[in-house]
Amino acid sequence: MQRWPTFIAAPLAVLAPASALASVYLSVEQAQQAIFPGATFVPASLTLTDEQAGAVARRSGVRVRVREQAVWRVPGAGWFIVDQVVGKHEFITYALGLDPSGAVRGIEIMEYRESYGHEVRNAAWRQQFLGKSAADPLRLDEDIRNISGATLSCRHVTDGVKRLLALHEIALRAR
């Protein structure tokens, strides 16, 4: 016998506000502990030179939008990097952990935001999310947490990881 799921239909006229959808998953500290549990983190942020940025773009095939990169050295374990990617409709902050050889140790999405206006392309709009932590969330209606329907692809995150792997080769490995 087949098991029927519990489903209570609602009148379909109810629509959520058309605001940007957002999820905050992890703060920097939480992402650090998720990828390198118990490790210590030494700030090692860097600003790519023109030459380095060009080399990263050539090596990864991915455009380098910003020169500043939030990086932590994890003594004996590798590197922890926080990065942002912007798609047509989405803005994603994620953390990448690399082992000392530059292999991916873990990826965690820290924050996901989507929008269907022009705001994602707008630097001022993006700026408001930088430096936000999970303790300071821009939380939407807590009821909206089960959304069905194709979400965006993770192509931009995949490209971001390619760019960070190239950044490791060019700017971190020798450090």
Binding site for another protein (CB under 8 A): 2-10, 12-16, 18, 20-21, 23-27, 30, 34, 37, 89, 92, 94, 107-109, 112, 114-116, 134, 139, 142-155, 157-158
- Smaller CB separation from another protein, 52 or 133: 133
CB of 6 to another protein, least distance (A): 4
For 43, half-sphere exposure in the C-beta direction (CA atoms, 13 angstrom radius) is: 4
CB of 34 to another protein, least distance (A): 7
- Smaller CB separation from another protein, 50 or 143: 143
CB of 37 to another protein, least distance (A): 7
- Smaller CB separation from another protein, 127 or 146: 146
51's tokens:
């030459």
- Smaller CB separation from another protein, 73 or 89: 89
Residues 80 and 30 sit within 8 Å (Cβ to Cβ):
no
Residues 112 and 147 sit within 8 Å (Cβ to Cβ):
no
Residue the block writes with tokens 């506000």: 17
65's tokens:
């939008």
CB of 97 to another protein, least distance (A): 12
**Among candidates 138, 106, 107, 128, which has minimal Cα distance to 24?**
138
Residue 21's contacts (CB-CB under 8 Å, 6 or more residues apart) are: 113, 114, 115, 140, 144, 147
CB of 125 to another protein, least distance (A): 15
- Smaller CB separation from another protein, 85 or 166: 85
**Among candidates 162, 28, 41, 43, which has minimal Cα distance to 95?**
28
